Amino acid sequence: MKRILCLLMMLCLWGMGCGALAANLKEVYCREREFTTRIPETASTEWDEDVFYIYLDKPGYVPNIFILRRSQEEKIKDPERYVKETYPKHMKEKHGGQLVAYSTMEYYDIGGKRLYASSYIYRNNSGYSINQLVLVEPREDGDVEYVVRYPNSDRERTLEAADGIVRYYQPDGQPGSGNADPSLGTLQDVICTDQNYTTKMPAGLSAEWRGSNGMRIWLEDPGYVPNVRIWRRTAKLSDPEKYVKTTYGEEMQSSFNGGLRSVTYYGNYSIGGKTLLAHTYVYKDSHGTDINLLHAVEVREDRDVEYTARYLDSEREKTLAVLDTVVRYYTPTDTGNGKASGSIASGKQSTAGTKELKAQKVKPILSGTSSYSDGRFSMTLPSGWNIMTQSDYMSFCLRSWDPKAADRQIFFFMKLEPFLKSQTAKNKYLEVNNSFGGNTIYQYFAYAPVMKSNSLKGFLDALPDTKDFCARYYRSGMTISPNVIPYMKNVEILEKKKSTLPAPGGCGENVIARISYTGEQGGRCEGMVTAQPTEQLAYDFLGTDGWMYTVYLFMGVTAPAGEMPELEETLLDCLSSFAFKQSYVNQAVDISTSQKNALLAQARTMQAAHDSMVSAWYAREQAHDISFQKWSDAFNGYDRLYDSATGEIYLADVGFYDSYNLNRSDYKNPNLQIVDSSTEKYYLQAADYYITK
């Protein structure tokens, strides 16, 4: 039986050995291994460790093809032995009893080449039979390994796609090397509903909305030169000529800090059938390459528009051709029809059906804010949130949270203590307490939490023990309530930025950090926090340092994974709104005038903290945002979709898209696509609608 399976498998594969070239291919570039090839237009790609994946349908699923380009050091010494012995051994170890059959071949003809090959049939975890074809192309510049996986129903189109991938594989290629001149050919619509306008660009290019940096049109790889930028101003310029001649130039001088090579002011500049105010700059990028930047302003009755083109000398003609098209077709819409983020209309007319999507508008997480005051202080809080305060004056602290989800929270501590410096000190205090028969002041210190280092991470790791410590001594009046301490376990610091807040002497680390942690409901959470862990003295206690760390100005905002992009601005604004009332401070009879002034000054640092946190947030690494949002979608059982015509984002129950994709012509809206590795920008924006099955 096994021989028959092998023979059938070989015959099936051999029948496709000289497969026809797949139509409608697009060029892709693997930057990590520096090669280009061509894949079907509807396919998506993903780089994972050393492998370049190509998914013909849903990312992460079969059918797929992956390419491994080996370095010179990784060359396969004996390709034939590799496919006949080494790889079969790997498959047996990986799939065990699920490996149904395998066969090795002398050669396999595909993509106009003759490659070493072996083929396999195995059952996946769901019990489906999967075919796997392994191909090795020995090359002087680095061997290439292709792995092709598909179910029987997708055999023909998968091998057809593999034929094109092998045929057009080109080492050390450059992105866009196979694109036509962008000044020629078909144009496609660009719709920006963030700023309510449309324009056009050559088909095959990509566009991306980048917040305050406007819309970018990428001529080659996203994120790289050459590119064209469009920014519709929120208000008209009072003196456009001065802005172009002076203000923008000053900004450029500041931005490039000596790296600006030259400036040319044109005054009137003709492009796209219009006359704009313009100037050009030449500056050196971080790699020392000269970059040209053309900046132009279109003065309009509605709202002025700024255009920027960046390019190398060799890219000038094609970049300005794209800019000409963008300027020529720029049209304001002002319809307020959604939140698209630089979405690109396909330019194709769809035949829509009559079936409606079961979509509901997504409600914002917060319903608004309201003022709060208790006689001691005032601040703004999200509507409906709980608040808890403890202690007074220099030991004052508060925590406010959403009763529906306690990990949505704001907190502020003027001071937290005591924190032991080591487990050794903890043991010494316990030893002395026991020598006096127990239940002494030494026991209090013996149960204090330990900070393993005078750092933000050392402090955050001690928070669970801090809650336990407060729970033990709160009823005796010796500590604050454990309920005011934020619940954070398994804290991971993702990014750190230097804080602009003044720090006390002995402060071990004065930073603002973006963190990930396990929250009160057991889920993954994220936040922005700052604190000033401080070591002011040392004290020899039985041969160890028995003095304590103190943590000043611990404050922050947190939320369940994926929510911070929506909540961050509101929560930080609420935190910075905190203010002690002068009348409350004046009531203090046991602190001096200088201490009262210090108290008010300390509270005023909330605004400075707000500004510093906001700066740190906008300078964050957005890969973490994407990771958090992916986790949140998966945890809640959603697939993330986007409308290719409007850019609106949908969260759909898992399973909906599979059915929809097979029957999209039945729907009034046939334009939904699943978010994949090539459209991850949609993870950076809030969803507009929910879809139920």
Listed residues 598, 624, 650: the one ending a domain: 624
Average the pLDDT over each of 309-313, 321-325, 632-636 and give the range with the smallest value: 632-636
Listed residues 344, 373, 404: the one ending a domain: 344
182 in a structural domain: no
351 in a structural domain: no
The verdict on 240 and 284 lying in the same domain is yes
Residue 48: both structure tokens together: 């994972």
Mean pLDDT, residues 175-187 taken together: 42
Range of the domain at 646: 359-363+625-691
Q: Would you call the peptide bond into 63 cis, given omega within 30 degrees of 0 as the criterion?
A: yes
Into how many domains does the chain fold?
4
CA 397 to chain centre: 33
The verdict on 645 and 679 lying in the same domain is yes
298 in a structural domain: yes
pLDDT 10s digits, 426-456: 999 999 988 888 888 889 999 999 999 999 9
4 or 78: which carries more pLDDT confidence? 78
Q: Is the pLDDT of residue 337 over 60?
A: no
The verdict on 271 and 247 lying in the same domain is yes
The verdict on 487 and 519 lying in the same domain is yes
The Cα 480–Cα 468 span in angstroms is: 11
12 in a structural domain: yes
Identity of the residue numbered 17:
G
Burial (CB count <10 Å: 0-12, 13-18, 19+), residue 84: middle
pLDDT 10s digits, 7-25: 334 333 333 333 333 346 7
The verdict on 432 and 513 lying in the same domain is yes
178 in a structural domain: no
Burial (CB count <10 Å: 0-12, 13-18, 19+), residue 34: middle
Q: Check if the beta carbon of residue 110 is closer than 8 Å to that of residue 159.
A: yes
The verdict on 113 and 247 lying in the same domain is no
Picking from 269, 321, 320, the residue whose alpha carbon sits closest to that of residue 298 is: 269
Three-state SS for 201-242 is: EECCCEEEECHHHCEEEECCCCCCCCEEEEEECCCCCCCHHH
pLDDT of residue 346: 32
The verdict on 292 and 404 lying in the same domain is no
* Cβ-Cβ contacts under 8 Å for 562 (sequence gap 6 or more): 628, 629, 631, 632, 633
Sign of CA dihedral 348, 349, 351, 353: positive
pLDDT 10s digits, 517-552: 999 888 889 999 999 999 978 777 888 888 899 999
Mean pLDDT, residues 458-483 taken together: 94
The verdict on 606 and 502 lying in the same domain is yes
The verdict on 67 and 135 lying in the same domain is yes
Q: Is the pLDDT of residue 465 over 50?
A: yes
187 or 137: which carries more pLDDT confidence? 137
pLDDT 10s digits, 88-137: 888 888 887 788 777 777 678 888 788 898 888 888 877 778 889 999 99
The verdict on 576 and 632 lying in the same domain is no
510 in a structural domain: yes
246 in a structural domain: yes
pLDDT 10s digits, 64-89: 999 999 888 888 888 888 988 889 88
The verdict on 602 and 635 lying in the same domain is no
66 or 238: which carries more pLDDT confidence? 66
Q: Check if the beta carbon of residue 328 is closer than 8 Å to that of residue 272.
A: yes
The Cα 155–Cα 157 span in angstroms is: 6
Q: Could you count the other beta carbons within 10 Å of the beta carbon of residue 80?
A: 14
pLDDT 10s digits, 249-279: 777 776 666 667 777 777 778 788 788 988 8
| CATH code of the domain covering residue 55 | 3.40.1000.10
Listed residues 603, 624, 645: the one ending a domain: 624
The verdict on 633 and 599 lying in the same domain is no
* Cβ-Cβ contacts under 8 Å for 51 (sequence gap 6 or more): 66, 67, 68
352 in a structural domain: no
